[in-house]
Structure 1
Amino acid sequence: MAILVIAEHDNQSIKVATLNTVAAATQLGDEVHVLVAGAGCAAAAEAAAKVAGVSKVLVCDAAHYEAQTAENVAELVKGLAANYSHVLAPATPAGKNMLPRVAALLDVAQISDIVAVESADTFVRPIYAGNALATVKSADAVKVITVRTTAFDAAAAEGNSAPVEALAAGADLSVTALVDREIVKSARPELGAAKVIVSGGRGMGNGENYHSLLEPLADKLGAALGASRAAVDAGFVPNDYQVGQTGKIVAPQLYIAVGISGAIQHLAGMKDSKVIVAINKDPDAPIFQVADYGVVGDLFELVPQLTAAL
């Protein structure tokens, strides 16, 4: 049977997380369908049709999918699930909100946050804040799965021309309504998709130091800004900067950790980075156990020197 991927999109374009999820789906079979549910979402459907590995795009365009509320999308997926062996979504806030509802409606167990596919019914997922990996085998007729996007390379966004098929809209359950959405706009790359990330921790001292020291470095590198939970809890930066088990899971090409001790929950969110550079005055800081390059010293001296050298 075919595999269904639920696209994450803004009605105009496909989010990068969907490309990673498609890549995971292609390891399960050759017939990968992508569902684009939205309002005025023809452009997003066209973008999905170009993604490598996609066999068909199902587009459901109706007013009550404009906000893509979890309740309405889950009800739509419930009606489609009988045609599929697997239903996948990215392990993003949107996917984590919607897919458990699908699993409950289908009366199956969800397999969350997979990092590898061993076979059509066997998957690997992290447990204990990423300190152990569990291999899970499912006997359910439909496997409902969220995908840790950092564990799979993104499928190519161009080069394909899959057919696009229109679907009849499902019921509008009218149980929730989107009141408002505030989107943080930044000239820097999105944290979850950035190739370079500069993160600061409690060692920054305060929010003013965080911005005055790390922003020039990030600008030189074209990097996104991140933070540890301690920095967020201290009010240095908003919580959407947080990297870690309770924040964003990232795996950039380069991760620079400044004044971050390396608590387990933070390491769980960034230890898959390709190259990790740590700057900390404590030579025994746990961050050095995962760092490829470590510099022991005063960040208030080292960071300006690094920025000036770039």
Structure 2
Amino acid sequence: MNIADYKGVWVFAEQRDGELQKVSLELLGEGRKIADKLGVKLTALLLGDKIEGLAKNLVAYGADEVLVAEDPLLKNYTTDAYTKVICDLANEKKPDIFFIGATFIGRDLGPRVAARLSTGLTADCTSLDIDEEGRYLLATRPAFGGNLMATIACADHRPQMATVRPGVFEKLAKDESKVANIEKVSFELSENDVRTKVVKVVKEHKDIVDISEANILISGGRGVGNKETFKLLQDLAEVMGGTVAASRAAVENGWLERDYQVGQTGKTVRPNIYIACGISGAIQHLAGMQDSDYIIAINKDATAPIMKAADLAIVGDLNKVIPELIAQVKARKENQ
């Protein structure tokens, strides 16, 4: 392998049912920074069936080039079909860096593509950068159960690959005046290449609020005590126009659904206001909310790690503090 032959930054532009996934646009934003540092093109890789119309959006969010692969066999995601097309294109065009969102699809696709290309993959990254000499991608992720952050470089193989969870990075402002090359690529793909068939797609309909989009989050941890006390958090969220979230411990205790979990094994959020109630603030949780604009922590333990991360730390019993907060918010609204 001649590493010098590999150039450019690629982003897998994941779409489902003709709708681009938010993480793809976020990765374009971060990919733009990396590509500019290296002085190379940022390419979005778009796979599916009759999805070429999405390419203009990818350009507006930062791509210099969009490679479009369309085929009925790519309509529904399958590991075999997507891996073959992506690997064939990667072997032909030789990207230096390749980013994939750590969605359910990305967590399946990333390792398979990396193995097929005989390269490395750093998963669930929280930071991406380039070394001072512009040789290596520096991918940082939590390690050893989240007790430290490891920065990993892939020195001897290309492309350098990383997956990133939704919400970690911010997408760029949309620029509809941006012009870029949109290329429909040719490739070979037959039914014999796909060992599985999607017979039927069954979607579960749940009234789930996406906490990564919320402006105000009231989040509860082990210190809340029980599911009944979570009603207090819901009352506060209601008067503030916010959404309830939870730490891993609260979710594992069955006090809230997994969809509302914040942290390394949940979702990454960056609301305007994050109120942490009874959350100790382990690094796994902090990794998912530390970029919130304003953090308020309510905890009996003044030495809890969350208190150091908070802009405002309230030492006290949340069963007394939250009702007072609710009363204060209601009084303020009535006086407006």
Sort the TM-score into its range (normalised by shorter chain): 0.7 to 0.9
Of residues 19, 27, 52, the one that matches 2:33 is: 27
Instruction: Name the CA distance, whole Å, in 2 between partners of 1:249 and 1:78.
Output: 29
Equivalent position amino acid for 1:174 in 2 = R
Q: How many Å separate the matches in 1 of 2:87 and 2:284?
A: 34
CA contact (8 A) 2:97 2:137 kept: no
Q: 1:48 aligns with which of 52, 58, 71?
A: 58
TM-score (norm 2): 0.80
Is the CA contact (8 Å cut-off) linking 1:5 and 1:35 kept in structure 2? yes
Distance 1:290-1:299 versus aligned 2 partners, 3 A rule: same
- Contact kept in structure 1, 2:66 and 2:181, CA below 8 Å: yes
Amino acid at match of 2:64: S
2:195 counterpart residue number: 174
What are structure 2's unaligned runs of at least 5 residues? 1-6, 330-336
Alignment correspondent of 2:156? 139
Kindly provide the amino acid, as one letter, of the partner of residue 191 in structure 1. I
1:125 corresponds to which residue?
140
Query: Structure 1 17/120 Cα, relative in aligned 2: closer, same or farther at 3 Å?
Result: farther
> Which residue, out of 40, 61, 78, partners 1:69?
78
CA distance in structure 1 between the partners assigned to 2:135 and 2:104 by the alignment: 25
Contiguous gaps of at least 5 residues in structure 1: none
**Number of corresponding residues:** 306
In the TM superposition, residue 183 of structure 1 has moved relative to its aligned partner by 5.0
Greater alpha carbon shift after TM alignment, 117-126 vs 232-241: 117-126
Deviation at 1:202, TM superposition (A): 2.4
Q: Which residue of 2 aligns with 1:116?
A: 128
The one-letter code matched in structure 2 to 1:209 is: T
How many Å separate the matches in 2 of 1:171 and 1:136? 36
Are residues 1:307 and 2:318 paired?
A: no
| Distance verdict in 2 for CA 1:6–1:299, change over 3 Å | same
Question: 1:232-251 maps to which residues of 2 (within 5 A)?
Answer: 232-251=251-270
* Cα distance change, pair 197–162 in 1 and its aligned pair in 2 (3 A): farther
Name 1:58's counterpart in structure 2.
67
- The 5-angstrom pairing of residues 1-310 of structure 1 reads 1-29=7-35, 30-51=40-61, 53-82=62-91, 83=93, 84-112=95-123, 113=125, 115-118=127-130, 119-128=134-143, 129=146, 131-148=148-165, 150-159=167-176, 160-168=178-186, 170-172=189-191, 173-175=194-196, 177=198, 180-182=202-204, 184-186=206-208, 188=209, 190-210=210-230, 212-310=231-329
Instruction: Give the AA of the match of 1:276.
Output: I
Assess if the C-alpha contact under 8 Å between 2:23 and 2:101 holds in 1: yes
Deviation (angstroms), 1:240: 1.6
Which whole-Å deviations, capped at 9, do the CAs of 1:89-138 have from their partners, x for residues lacking one? 12333322211111001011113315021235131402331633425253
- The answer (yes or no) to whether the contact 1:88–1:147 under 8 Å persists in 2 is yes
Preserved CA contact (<8 Å) 2:128 2:138: yes
Q: Distance in 1 between matches of 2:190 and 2:294?
A: 48
Q: Return closer, same or farther for 1:71/1:256 CA change in 2, 3 Å cut-off.
A: farther
How much identity, in percent, do the aligned residues show?
32
Residues 2 and 86 of structure 1 are in contact (CA less than 8 Å); yes or no, is this contact kept in structure 2?
yes
Cα 1:25–1:264 change in 2 (3 A) is: closer
Which AA in structure 1 matches 2:128? A
Aligned partner of residue 80 in structure 1, secondary structure: helix
Q: In structure 1, what residue type is equivalent to 2:218?
A: V
Q: Secondary structure at the match of 1:125?
A: strand
Deviations 1:164-219 (A, max 9, x none): 33234634513363653325434x4x223434322112233333432x32234334
Q: Is the alpha carbon distance of 1:72 and 1:236 closer, same or farther for their aligned partners in structure 2, counting shifts above 3 Å?
A: same
Please tell me whether the aligned partners of residues 122 and 139 of structure 2 are also in contact (alpha carbons under 8 angstroms): no
The secondary structure found in structure 1 opposite 2:20 is coil
Larger Rg: 1 or 2?
Answer: 2
Aligned-CA RMSD value: 2.6
CA distance in 2, matches of 1:145, 1:117: 11
One-letter amino acid of the counterpart of residue 182, structure 2: V
TM-score by length of 1: 0.86
Q: Which runs of 4+ in 1 moved over 4 A?
A: 148-151
